[in-house]
Structure 1
């Protein structure tokens, strides 16, 4: 008895829908339309004889057969991509900058998946503040950057909003009548500038008690109860709480996350598009509704 032949596009559509729990986001990641994604999935389901994705007005999820098929489907795609890469001796790379307050815990997993799909593509990642990364991008030292939007720039691809708040450890105690103890990033950091302007506009006295140690060091200082800090609401340490309202601190304005790129070759652009779709996914509530 002959087995059904699988086509790469259909299997890739299924895997991407499973990853994003969304037909719209899967289409965006693959650079196609929602209708095309639906057609590819239907073709795959018909060939296999199983319904792989359950779709309701509020939910997109794997069926039982879909859950069983997902890992083999990933292996099928990875084997295909390795085979295609083996036909090309050209090793390509691009230099990617990601702002420290943008890089979340999902980044290593995403980069590993991109490498698995395209072993001939090397992505060199640089983590720094947005201003320095944009300067490096403009000077040609980086091929693409994912950064906070700067007031003097309106170019780039909008990946969505980034919200900020005042975070501190639950045990943090601010002495009455004393300046607010603030842990801050380097002086050229845009998030630091936002926080300082907000404090100044409300006439709140403050002292920087932990300065310029990098994003991870600042978060460690906040977790230790040494100070408060203005941090991304998405990336604040799990052992801290938002204390802005309780302490009467000014509301911090939201920003936008932007992708700037000079890359033109298809495979590098495909990798960037996958990263961009993942960033949009991690900035919106999952399962907010099927599409």
Structure 2
């Protein structure tokens, strides 16, 4: 008989490509997860994962076993829910500077962690999300920390920012750098402008957007340069900071605020946070 927790650990490690992130999702330790998977490999007589200092990846046998492992975990969840599962609701607000094209995969991880959960996701600026969270309308908030307004919460990771532009973006020497920004209240806009002005670099705002998606569209169209994190930048764009002689942008801490007490919802949120951390290493 296979150890079901070991199978779950294998599936999470394969999805997150990290023993550490899998351990976070399972509320366990890296050594415990590694030991479970080692015992699973011994029971199967197969090596499931290839371990390197920076990356964990599936072996050929691991890739062959993964689909069956998922089915086994799903069958277990189905058996647990044979008498009906009480649906729970989890509302999470996320800064639009934090989550990009990987959102479907992150949501999939949350759905796998707790299929009886009804998810409500709101995407907005960090200050908007914090205001909604503080009003009690959100269970959790994942935002960028720009100041000391709130020093509580769990720091998930540091998010780097760069000067993103289309590969064919042209800048004429002696002219102000063309910027795509959000409105004056955007803290990333304030960070970008302050960084340029501190370095004595002239800039000109040529596009004002109503969200990261619109800024990304202007960047991809070659209209301007924008201060963005790599994860939310449009595919194909590149960091032009060094080529244009622009100063390095500071990073920002990604912070999780939560008021959850329900263990099921906390487990799903823990899985989401672990999956988000895993994307930072890619």
The two structures have a TM-score, normalised by structure 1, of 0.89
Maintained 8 Å contact 1:85/1:119: no
TM-superposed CA distance for 1:76, in Å, is: 1.4
Q: Which residue of 1 aligns with 2:158?
A: 161
Unmatched tracts of structure 2, length 5 or more:
none
> Which whole-Å CA distance do the structure 2 matches of 1:231 and 1:62 have between them?
32
In the TM superposition, residue 57 of structure 1 has moved relative to its aligned partner by 5.1
Identify if the C-alpha distance between structure 1 residues 204 and 42 changes in structure 2 by more than 3 Å, giving closer, same or farther: closer
Partner of 1:173: 170
Q: Which SS does the other structure have where 2:243 is aligned? A: coil
Partner of 1:205: 202
Q: For the residues of structure 1 that align with 2:166 and 2:242, how far apart are their CA atoms? A: 15
Moved more, 187-196 or 49-58: 49-58
Pairing 1:14–2:10 present: yes
Pairing partner for 2:39 from 27, 43, 50: 43
**Against the structure 1 CA distance between its residues 80 and 211, is the aligned structure 2 distance closer, same or farther, given a 3 Å change threshold?**
same
From the superposition, tell whether residues 249 and 63 of structure 1 become closer, same or farther in structure 2 (CA, over 3 Å): closer
1:234 aligns with 2:231: yes
Q: How does 1:123-138 map to 2 (within 5 A)?
A: 123-138=119-134
Give 2:260's aligned residue.
263
Residue 32 in structure 1 maps to residue 28 in structure 2: yes
Q: 1:88 deviation in Å?
A: 4.3
- SS class of match (2:167): coil
2:212 pairs with one of 215, 219, 239? 215
The verdict on how the C-alpha distance between 1:77 and 1:240 changes in structure 2, with shifts beyond 3 A counting, is: same
What is the distance in 2 between the residues matched to 1:26 and 1:230?
32
Separation in 1, partners of 2:54, 2:117: 37
Give the TM-score taking structure 2 as reference length.
0.91
The corresponding residue for 1:99 is 95
Give the equivalent residue in structure 2 for 1:288. none
Whole-angstrom distance in 1 between the partners of 2:81 and 2:260: 19
Alignment of 1:46-195 (within 5 A): 46-55=42-51, 60-152=56-148, 153-195=150-192
Matched residues, number: 281
Displacement of 1:219: 0.6
Question: CA separation in 1, counterparts of 2:57 and 2:250?
Answer: 35
TM-align CA RMSD: 2.0
- Which is further off, 27-36 or 218-227? 27-36
| Corresponding residue number in structure 2 for 1:289 | none
